[in-house]
Homo-oligomer: A and B are copies of this chain.
């Protein structure tokens, strides 16, 4: 398959594919001669994954490169590779430790984890990007005068835990490790928009049930 065919089959313009090649999001094709390179199904698959990350997941190009770098890093054991890939995804601003709202948020989150008995998450607290972004978000909420305390968050966290159980159950239905890794990345990137859409739809449904259509 040549560049032009890769383009038509993926629906991505040749110029953009060249850009991805330049940026290292796509491995170079097998060079046949100075003017021809050959691509295979694996390239097509990778290209679609990249597009999904960028377009659906709004992941910046630099982050995509980092994530794929971990996926392809054969020097690491697979579980670590997956974790590394997922952890390089979020683009979290570092919480400002001196900010009073950040400090309050940290206490709330710590109280939440205690209440839930999430012992593993507590151990990951200092390093997990998810933990940091939770703190940042809670602090933003508090700054606006809305207390989002542990007792309010706990039921949400319970529901999210059930969601995570579903996620892992689904992942385990995939037999090959390769597929599992790709599925997990897609899960982190495309599942979340799906969850978010379901959440908003559910809000609309529930609002209509309670108050009608407001007409």
Contact B165 A195 (CB under 8 A): no
Asked if A198 is at the interface (CB within 8 A of a chain B CB), the reply is yes
Asked if A136 is at the interface (CB within 8 A of a chain B CB), the reply is yes
B residues near A192, Cβ cutoff 8 Å: 196, 199
Contact B209 A156 (CB under 8 A): no
- What mask results when residues 121 to 149 of chain A are scored 1 for a CB within 8 Å of chain B, else 0? 10010001111011011101101101010
- What mask results when residues 147 to 171 of chain A are scored 1 for a CB within 8 Å of chain B, else 0? 0100011011101111111111010
Contact A121 B162 (CB under 8 A): no
B residues near A121, Cβ cutoff 8 Å: 201-202, 204-205, 208
Q: Which of A14-22, A31-39, A62-70, A75-83 contacts B (4 or more CB under 8 A)?
A: A75-83
Q: Could you list which residues of chain A lie within 8 angstroms of chain B, going by C-beta atoms?
A: 45, 48-49, 52, 55-56, 77, 79-80, 83, 90, 93, 118, 120-121, 124, 128-131, 133-134, 136-138, 140-141, 143-144, 146, 148, 152-153, 155-157, 159-168, 170, 183, 186, 188, 190, 192-211, 213-214
Q: How far is the CA of A80 from the CA of B214 in the complex (A)?
A: 7
Beyond A214-B77, A214-B83, whether A156 also contacts B198 by CB under 8 A is yes
B residues near A211, Cβ cutoff 8 Å: 79
Contact A120 B202 (CB under 8 A): no
Q: How far is the CA of A90 from the CA of B200 in the complex (A)?
A: 10
Contact B201 A131 (CB under 8 A): yes
Q: List 10 A-B contacts (CB under 8 A).
A: A130-B203, A131-B201, A133-B197, A144-B186, A153-B198, A156-B194, A157-B198, A167-B206, A168-B207, A168-B210
Contact B210 A164 (CB under 8 A): no
Beyond A133-B197, A198-B153, whether A190 also contacts B143 by CB under 8 A is no
